[in-house]
Structures are given as structure tokens and as C-alpha cells.
Amino acid sequence: MSAVPTWAQLVYLLCAVGFILALKGLSGPRTARTGNLIGAGAAAVAVVLPFVYLDLDHLPLIIGAIALGSLGGVLGARRVQMTQMPQMVALFNGVGGGAAALVALLELEELGHVPSVAVGTFVLVATAFTVLVGSVSFAGSVITFAKLQDLMTSRPVVFAGLPVAFAAALIGSVVLGWLVVDGVALWAGVALGVMGLLVGVLLVLPVGGADVPIVISLLNAFTGLTVAAGGYVLGNVVLLVAGTLVGASGTFLTLLMARAMGRSVPNILFGALRGGSTLGAGEASDRPVRSAGPEDVAILLGYADRVIIVPGYGLAVAQAQHTLRELVELLQARGTRVDYAIHPVAGRMPGHMNVLLAEAQVPYEQLVEMDEINGEFKHTDVVLVVGANDVVNPAARTTPSAPIYGMPILDVDQAQQVVFLKRSMRPGFAGIENELLFDPRTTLLFGDAKDSLTKLLAAAKAL
């Protein structure tokens, strides 16, 4: 690789600082847009810079690939619905891991023409690591995409020999990695990549239901580590810093999400092998419940002094966030205190509800995290649950056999009255019934969330 001029190294350093500032900005909703722009700008500068100081071969192919990737990114960002954002994150994450693995293979081919004494052992270890983990991230992300997009079942896919096959794939990966390090063998690198694909598939197949977003976060950390290792192999400081940031933040996010679910990462990944994973959608219940129309719920809200809204994935599916905001503003104008209770894993990715409600111009001050608002439910007249289920299911506290047992939940069952907006009596993503639906204090308003909220808003205005 050609030496990087001092001025270019300084620009790369500024880009790295930009990534750090971007990550800081993304940590809060008020600064997220600015942080995103800073990160995008730093990435654009880092991509353009090699064209300035390097004499690149195959320039038309490089420019064509960048143009094609940019077009795909723009179209994806503009056309993908909010409900499909986790799938897009999974795909983008997988592409990053796959690209890092391919670059490492190309670098391995280059190293094959260099005398073995001139190739450092750690460089070969980093190359083998990038090929293996990048392939795992790519294959695993494709499976998570298929699960979330309903291209395959969201239930865990388990077969009798899965643990043995997974262990054999891991052992095979170690052996092939050793061959890469020992002999700079391109064929071993390609075989290692294929073995990594197998490991990625076997890793994600047993994961089901609400566990998939956590696996996306874990695979995101994997991709970050591969990019960092690839940056070391290529001698690129920007890749090293950016990959380290993504790997570290993805690891912390995975651990925080697992803690919010009340479970460990190994249990999330391998719980299905002993029946402990969330299982995906189950059968609809035919037990009797108390239901009401929009007019009755509007009267209930009209007499309430304190209301808490619990948004969930159903709100995102119906794209009803704007109508919900109008209803909340109407209640506030009449003197009702209203807040939104945000569970860490509501929706299908971290921050899903925050982004959804921010899109509807809901003030950030009204979005209250679970730990802060749980003490308020016992002083609340009405809780309006819109499209959520598992994050308010008391089985997480009362039923040891439940797949969500131990998961911290919103203490909705402590409120005076609870209103659920649901399409049907089908259970949540965890596949179990919510006993709160059958509580005497609970009222159900059936229908599409946007349609129900529109009727509820009209009824509230008529009071």
C-alpha cells in the first residue's frame, strides 16, 4: 500500500473525530439529526480522499460501484417505511460485514505474493478474523432480515443435529483460520468465508420472535469489529476508528437490550435449544373480554386527569402516530396531563418509538423512559395502550414458565383503567396471552390503530 501523505493523515484524523462527534450526537433525540449529518459528512470526505492522493486503478469500476451503492442507499432511505426500518438496518449491517470479508480476501490474495517473512502474524490473524466474522455477520443479517420481513417463520428453527453442526462449524472455522495464518493460503481464506456463512446461518436460525432485534444489534457489533480489523490490515486509521466505535457501541447496546429483556445474551442466542426463546406469534384467544366503542373510550379519557400512552409496534404498522399526537394535544388542551411511556424494546429496534413519535412532532419532554414512569402508573386514571402487548404483560413478573419471565415491563396493571387498542386477540411477538386483557379494569377497542384513533379523536372532539 502506498504511503499516506501527512496532510491526508490529518484529514483522516478529522474524519475520525467527526465519527466520534456523530456518535455523541446520536445519543440524544435533540442532537440526533446533527450527529447523523456530521457522520455522513465525515464518511463522504473519507471516501473521496483516496481519489485525491492515490493513483487508483480501475477508476470507472470504482466510481460505478459508488454510484450504484449511493443510488441504492438513497432509494432505500426514502422508500422504506418506519415499520421496515429494522429490516433495512439488518441488510445494511450485513452488507458492511460482507464487504469487509471480501476486502480481506483480496488483501489475502495480495499477501500471497509477498515473502512470508515480510508478512506479520498479527496481520494474518486480523485478516482471517475479518473474513470469518464478516461472513458470519452477512449470513446472520440475511436470516434476521428474512425473519422480520416474513420471508421465513419468525419462530426458532431448531433441528436435532443443530448443536453438533454449530460446534463442528466453529471447529472447522478455527482450523481454516489457522491454515490462513500458517500458510497465507487463499483457498483456505475462501473456505473460511464459506464456513463463516454457515456459522452465521446456524447462529440466527434458533432465534425467534422478540429476540431478533437484539441479534441485529449483536451482528452490528460483529460488523464493527470486522471493519476495525480490516482497517488494521489495510493501514487505514478511519476504518480502524469507525469500526471500533461501531463494535463498542453495538456491544453496549446488545447488553443493554438484553438487560431490558431480563435475559442474558447466551440465553437469547441459544435459549430455543432448551425451550427458552421467545417463540413468535401464537393463536388468537377466544376468552371473553370487555370491549367498547370509540365514544365510550372518549368519555373515559374525558373524565381522566392523568393519562399515559404506551406506544408499540402496532402504532408503527398503522402509521397512526400523527393521529395519536392530535388526540393527546386535545386532551392536554382540556387540562389532562399526558405522557408517553417508552419501553426500551418497544417496537422492533432500540429507539423505534422515539423516532416514530419524533416524526409526528411529539415534544421530547413527553417521552418518558420506563424506569422514570413506572412509579406514575398507580397514580394514573387511564393508560392507553396502542399496539403494544409484551412490554405490558404481567406474565413477565408472575409466570416463571413464560418466555418473557424476568423482563422488566411497564407497570400498566397498576393503573385505575387500561384501554387496549388491538386489531385482534392474537398474542404479541412472544406468542403468549396477556392476562391483563382479561382484567375487569381493562377495556379493548378493536380495529386498525389509525382507524380507531381517528374515530376516538372525532368522539373526543364531540364531547
Summarised one tens digit per residue, pLDDT across range 88-122 is 888 888 999 999 999 999 988 887 666 554 567 88
Amino acid code (one letter) for 35: G
Give 429's pLDDT tier (boundaries 50, 70, 90). Answer: low
Q: Do residues 158 and 206 lie in contact, with contact meaning Cβ atoms separated by under 8 Å? A: yes
Distances (CA, A) of 235 to 61, 143, 444: 23, 32, 60
Q: What is the pTM of this model?
A: 0.78
- Give the CA angle between residues 79, 15, 54 to the nearest 5°: 95
- 335 burial (CB, 10 Å; 0-12 / 13-18 / 19+) is exposed
Q: How many CB atoms lie within 10 A of CB 439?
A: 16
Q: What's the confidence (pLDDT) of residue 416? A: 95
- 423 burial (CB, 10 Å; 0-12 / 13-18 / 19+) is middle
Q: Which residues are catalytic?
A: 390
Q: What's the confidence (pLDDT) of residue 84? A: 76
Structural domains of the chain in order of their starting residue, each with its CATH number: 80-274 (no CATH), 294-462 (3.40.50.1220)
Give 280's pLDDT tier (boundaries 50, 70, 90). Answer: very low
- 14: Cβ contacts below 8 Å, ≥ 6 apart: 42, 45
Amino acid code (one letter) for 138: F
Q: Do residues 200 and 135 lie in contact, with contact meaning Cβ atoms separated by under 8 Å? A: yes
Residues in the chain: 463
What CA–CA distance (Å, rounded) separates 191 from 132? 10
DSSP helix, strand, coil percent of the chain (3-state; round to 5)? 65, 5, 30
Q: Is the pLDDT of residue 445 over 90?
A: yes
Pick the range with the lowest mean pLDDT from 156-160, 164-168, 258-262, 361-365: 258-262
pLDDT single digits (tens) 336-356: 999 999 988 787 677 778 888
Please compute, for residue 341, the number of CA atoms within 13 A of its CA located in the half-sphere on the CB side.
29
What mean pLDDT value characterizes the chain?
Answer: 87
185 or 386, which is more confident:
386
- Residue 340 host element (H or E): strand 337-342
Q: Is the pLDDT of residue 144 over 70?
A: yes
Q: Do residues 322 and 354 lie in contact, with contact meaning Cβ atoms separated by under 8 Å? A: no
**Which of the residue ranges 85-99, 209-223, 437-451 has the most confident prediction, judged by mean pLDDT?**
437-451
What CA–CA distance (Å, rounded) separates 94 from 141? 5
